[in-house]
């Protein structure tokens, strides 16, 4: 019989381990571990062995920022050689941002990192916390040898982390992956769609180390277009020292291009090196600026397509590429290419040979 897998759990906080108090639910140090110790299923031999390390202090995920992404990444790096996989217990509000960030930060990841949480605390009689935790551990225990990417498990679905968005505040199926199929579905059986999984990276003792890119010093942001937008509002968002901005456009990458002042603001920003990336406001679909005249006008002033990336992924990717020290020209090019499965490149770009190889390797990162 093979040895049980060992999983390292990073507990950041969030609803899953909160305790009800007279002033509302709040996370409490040691309480999640205490709850797990009382539930026999978490000691079952079918589960992998696991250890938990808590954030201090525990966070509501609305307080999450890039310094906390770095803490999670560093906890994984410090324990990388000793464990087969990693589970990050996280609040739901910003889980997709963290999953996207980790997918870029953890360079050459060769082991699985899975994020989960819950809509109802584990202490409640009727909750989704126990199922999400147990199933996440089962997935990591059974399939750690073939998984080497950052994922989210929630409500019977396994997603690529950088493809997710939170879509509901009051439903157990709180997350969706609108532009990429689930990597797995859980019913009576746990079924993984291996054709959708990123290629596994080699695991050898020599590679039992993990490089991380520290995010946080780059200045990037996001801005949602709306009818009646005053160009001065966008100008403030694009003002120095900003390096890149994700613009949530209408439809397939449309904007009020008939507004000359709006276009001048964009052109001035891209001329001084600001990378402006267009994504789409609708949940499903792609911002391909080559389709409509308004999109082509954005291309003409230097905006680039983010295609079907979520805002969360596009923002994390901008952080990552600027932290790498790449020039605005290279950042623009790489924002339109899939590095870790975060976007779907249009067929015409693949046919034209404009897509870098997958996965994003050390050799790719050094190329000019």
Distance CA 196, CA 94 (A): 24
Cβ contacts of 39 within 8 Å, gap of 6 or more: 130
- Phi/psi at 90 (nearest 5 deg)? -145, 150
Distance CA 278, CA 255 (A): 10
> What separation in angstroms does the CA of 306 have from each of 257, 264, 310?
18, 21, 9
Choose the catalytic residue: 15, 94, 116, 257.
15
Confidence (pLDDT) at 137: 98
Confidence (pLDDT) at 1: 41
Confidence (pLDDT) at 263: 97
Choose the catalytic residue: 12, 21, 23, 92.
92
Confidence (pLDDT) at 25: 86
Distance CA 42, CA 338 (A): 38
**Binding positions:** 61, 92-93
Token pair 């859980």 in the structure block, residue? 186
| Direct distance between the N- and C-terminal alpha carbons of the chain, in angstroms, rounded to an integer | 49
Structural domains in the chain plus CATH codes = 6-196 (3.40.50.1170), 220-365 (3.40.50.40)
Q: Are 303 and 277 in contact (CB under 8 A)?
A: yes
Confidence (pLDDT) at 365: 79
- Phi/psi at 359 (nearest 5 deg)? -80, 175
**Binding positions for substrate:** 61, 92-93
SS3 at position 275: strand
Confidence (pLDDT) at 207: 58
Confidence (pLDDT) at 180: 97
15 catalytic residue (yes or no): yes
270 catalytic residue (yes or no): no
Confidence (pLDDT) at 351: 55
pLDDT tens over the chain, length 368 residues: 468 999 999 999 999 999 988 888 888 899 999 999 999 999 999 999 999 999 999 999 999 999 999 999 999 999 999 999 999 999 999 999 999 999 999 999 999 999 999 999 998 989 999 999 999 999 999 999 999 999 999 999 999 999 999 999 999 999 999 999 999 999 999 999 999 999 888 776 655 789 899 998 999 999 999 999 999 999 999 999 999 999 999 999 999 999 999 999 999 999 999 999 999 999 999 999 988 898 899 999 999 999 999 999 999 999 999 999 999 999 999 999 999 999 998 876 665 555 554 557 777 777 65
């Amino acid at each position: 019989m093979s040895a049980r897998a060992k999983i390292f759990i990073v507990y950041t906080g969030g609803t899953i381990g909160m305790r009800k108090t007279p002033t509302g639910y709040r996370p409490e140090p040691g309480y999640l571990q205490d709850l797990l110790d009382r539930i026999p299923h978490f000691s079952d031999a079918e589960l992998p062995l696991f250890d938990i390390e808590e954030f201090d202090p525990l966070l509501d995920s609305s307080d999450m920022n890039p310094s906390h992404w770095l803490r999670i990444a560093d906890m994984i790096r410090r324990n990388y050689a000793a464990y087969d996989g990693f589970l990050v217990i996280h609040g739901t509000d910003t889980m997709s941002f963290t999953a996207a960030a980790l997918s870029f930060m953890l360079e050459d990841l060769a082991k699985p990192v899975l994020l989960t949480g819950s809509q109802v605390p584990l202490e409640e009689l009727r909750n989704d916390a126990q199922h999400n935790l147990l199933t996440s551990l089962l997935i990591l225990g059974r399939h750690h040898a073939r998984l080497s990417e950052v994922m989210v498990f929630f409500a019977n679905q396994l997603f690529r982390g950088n493809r997710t968005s939170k879509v509901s505040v009051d439903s157990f199926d709180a997350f969706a992956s609108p532009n990429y199929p689930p990597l797995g579905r859980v019913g009576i059986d746990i079924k993984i769609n291996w054709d959708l999984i990123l290629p596994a990276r080699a695991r050898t003792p020599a590679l039992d180390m993990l490089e991380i890119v520290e995010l946080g010093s780059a200045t990037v942001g996001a801005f949602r277009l709306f009818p009646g937008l005053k160009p001065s509002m966008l100008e403030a968002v694009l003002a120095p020292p900003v390096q890149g901005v994700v613009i949530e456009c209408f439809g397939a990458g449309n904007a009020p291009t008939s507004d000359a002042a709006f276009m001048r603001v964009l052109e001035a920003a891209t001329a001084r090196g600001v990378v402006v990336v267009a994504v789409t406001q609708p949940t499903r679909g792609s911002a391909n600026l080559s389709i409509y005249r308004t999109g082509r006008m954005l291309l003409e002033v230097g905006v680039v397509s983010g295609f079907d990336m979520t805002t969360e992924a596009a923002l994390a990717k901008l952080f990552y590429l600027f932290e790498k020290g790449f020039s605005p020209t290279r950042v623009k090019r790489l924002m339109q290419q899939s590095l870790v499965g975060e976007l779907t490149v249009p067929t015409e770009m693949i046919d034209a040979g404009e897509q870098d190889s997958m996965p994003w390797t050390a050799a790719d990162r050094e190329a000019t």
